Amino acid sequence: MVVPGQQNQEEKVFYPPEDLRVDAHVPDFNSYLELYKKSIEEPEAFWREVAQEFYWKELPNGQLLQYNFDVTKEKVYVKFMEGAKTNICYNVLDHNVLTRNLGEKVAYHWEGNSPDLRLTITYSQLLKQVCRCANALKKLGVKKGDRVAIYLPMIPELVYSMLACARIGAVHSIVFAGFSSESLAERIMDAQCSILLTADGVYRGEKLINLKQIADEALEHCREKANCTSIWSHKGSEDLISVPNGSQAAPVLHVCMHACVLQTLWNAECDVWWDEAVDNASEECDPEWMDAEDPLFVLYTSGSTGKPKGVLHTIAGYLLYTSLTFKYVFDHHQDDVYWCTADIGWITGHSYITYGPLANGATSVLFEGIPVYPHVGRFWEIIEKYRVSKFYTAPTAIRLLMKYGIEPLQKYDLSSLRVLGTVGEPINPEAWMWYHDAVGQGRCPVVDTFWQTETGGHVLTPLPAATPLKPGSATLPFFGVLPIILNEHGEELEGEAEGYLVFKKPWPGIMRGVYGNQECFENTYFKKFPGFYVTGDGCRRDKDGYYWITGRIDDMLNVSGHLLSTAEVEAALTEHSAVAEAAVVSRPHIVKGECLYCFVTLKDFREFNHSLMDELKRKGKREKIGPIATPDFIQNAPGLPKTRSGKIMRRVLRQIARNEKDLGDLSTLADPKVVEVLLSQRCEAAA
């Protein structure tokens, strides 16, 4: 790889600001190359050095990293620091308080849905609350290895409960507080959870969501599936439901929310008040010393079949990897105030709101609300209030706020910002530039991070003081990560290339399996190309060695034998000044095999007409990709079907494009009504 410069004129390159390099952990590109080389050629020495930052009850024995990625040889597995014993909660809390003297440092500034709700939590306070929760869970019968389902909004109790599980060796399974009762029940059953923590409700903007009612419905689904009627009696008697796979129906620890006053149905036989269980519990709780490869959490991610997969992460490797990626990718220093706007119900919240920041003794903002409530400047208001220096959000949020222009930004002081980050999907260059110029005021590098629930942490990412940036590129691999691009035949492609993104060897934070399903684990990630972890994403590598994510392989479009990526076509469409967002899917075509069916969301006050459609068709045909990328259909889309994390549900769009009436489960959509609108306005010519 080379440093991009004058030899590559087709892309604009942004170099790290000099002032950021002064005290940076990785101050220049050569330092990155040296560390990367060591992480690949001397992984044992590299990761042992990282491990010295943490407390180990027992040290590992033998080789640090052991694995097999080849399904044709033996069972696929990854092991890291086998033989070591530690506790991740101890390392992110006790270690900070007792060893690093950070007890009085703020761990979280909690900012509620309403701006007048806020709370400051120090590391000492956080440790005490976690110990109380851990003791309450133990009193309710939770022990090492038990699975605990958590269905909570973005409140401090969510952090308390997940760390309490880690402290006593229980495995947490957090479900985003917005999933339907069916989705919650499915995850409870699959993980065989023995207890559920929830709240009475939550306001998301002005919308009230009755979580307790959803939780009650979910538990009823569990009982129906079990064909059983008995339930837990009050505070954990031994009268358990017998359900498939040895799972148990769950009692409810009820978190009484400050923001909601709901007439909740209360079942004294299975419901327990959080206050009753936690407030009188001891503030001291000895940690359970765990093996390095003991499970830490299960987190469900959508599968191509529609059935969620329980991605399993373990303790030692996840601790080291999330800690190191947080430290280097955000160039964290002790005077920083860091804010990740994600929800802890997703992997971004696990790795970069909880474990990664706390492992570094960071001060973070924990945000319950949404970007535009009670006004469109809410993000900028919070940045000014807490003097946020490192800001991490999703391209979806950036594009949403772009619609309101720079006027809301100008009301607030954003001079504290030093590093910006994006997560969740590839960011289109237009949004990247707005983020860089309007939010970062042209002085903050944008770290565009590529990773997955399965990877545990960043795998392709810039480092803010070291990596020259290209808008839209995830740039280069993180330490210990060896990306490869393969063609359809599994052959490795060198130099400039485009194909399947795979990884040749593991890093400490990679998933250890699909919970309870080794066959699914191997078939999903290792069967297509034995010897490699298959991301499922397409990728392009340019002449400088930079990586560009081109979209999910299952979202690739094969038009007249030519493979096109959805991201590539969408980027061309969104370059038009009238287009706010675009999504492209395939539709069967009698001649081409597949053709392009495009959904476009226009910016405010722009009219959708034949003239605009002609301009958009020329965008793909002449200006960006070539004649093969000419859209056959362009539909006006007032909104796109998205999950609550902002991911576009292209499966639904494909079905709309093909006029398929049975759209399956839409419960994970943020606004299912969008689908009705798109169906009613479907392109007449495609009928």
Query: Which pLDDT band, with edges at 50, 70 and 90, does 237 fall under?
Result: very low
Confidence of residue 1 (pLDDT cuts 50, 70, 90): low
What is the mean pLDDT of the segment spanning 326-341? 98
Contact indicator for 139, 234 with CB cutoff of 8 Å: no
Report the pLDDT value the prediction gives residue 247, as an integer from 0 to 100: 34
pLDDT computed for residue 264 by the predictor: 62
Q: What is the pLDDT of residues 40-51, one digit of tens each?
A: 999 999 999 999
pLDDT value for 351: 98
Q: Of 352, 361, 336, 329, nearest to 462 (Cα)?
A: 329
Q: At what angle do helices 29-41 and 43-51 cross, to 10 degrees?
A: 110
Looking at residue 249, its pLDDT comes to: 40
The pLDDT mean for the chain works out to: 88
pLDDT of residue 310: 95
Extract the tokens encoding 520: 């699914």
User: Can you tell me which residue has the tokens 């979209």?
Assistant: 551
**How many angstroms separate the CA atoms of 17 and 641, rounded?**
38
Question: What is the predicted pLDDT for the residue at 622?
Answer: 44
| CB contact at 8 A, 169 and 290 | yes
What's residue 262's pLDDT? Answer: 52
Cα dihedral 196, 200, 203, 208 sign: positive
Average pLDDT rounded to a whole number, residues 610-624: 74
CA distance 276 to 266: 14
Q: Is the pLDDT of residue 92 over 70?
A: yes
- Are 589 and 595 in contact, with CB atoms under 8 Å apart? yes
Q: What's the pLDDT tens digit per position in 138-181?
A: 999 999 999 999 999 999 999 999 999 999 999 999 999 888 88
Of 288, 318, 308, 301, give the one whose Cα is nearest residue 512: 318
Distance CA 480, CA 394 (A): 25
Q: Determine contact, residues 628/562, Cβ cutoff 8 Å.
A: yes
Within a 10 A sphere around the Cβ of 574, how many other Cβ atoms?
A: 21
**What is the mean predicted confidence (pLDDT) over 493-522?**
96
Rg (alpha carbons) of the chain, rounded to whole number = 25
> What was the pLDDT predicted at 664?
76
Six-digit token string for 585: 């899917």
Stretch 585-599: mean pLDDT:
84
pLDDT tens-digit series, residues 250-274: 445 544 433 344 556 777 777 888 8
φ, ψ (nearest 5 deg) of residue 133: -65, -40
Give the range among 216-225, 332-341, 400-409 with minimum mean pLDDT.
216-225
Residue 388 pLDDT: 98
User: pLDDT for 540-564, tens place per residue?
Assistant: 999 999 999 987 777 667 676 565 7
Side-chain-facing half-sphere of 635: CA atoms under 13 Å: 28
DSSP state of 512: -
**Distance (Å, whole) CA 575 – CA 431:** 10
pLDDT value for 230: 25
- 235 pLDDT exceeds 60? no
The span from the CA of 122 to the CA of 118, in Å, is 14
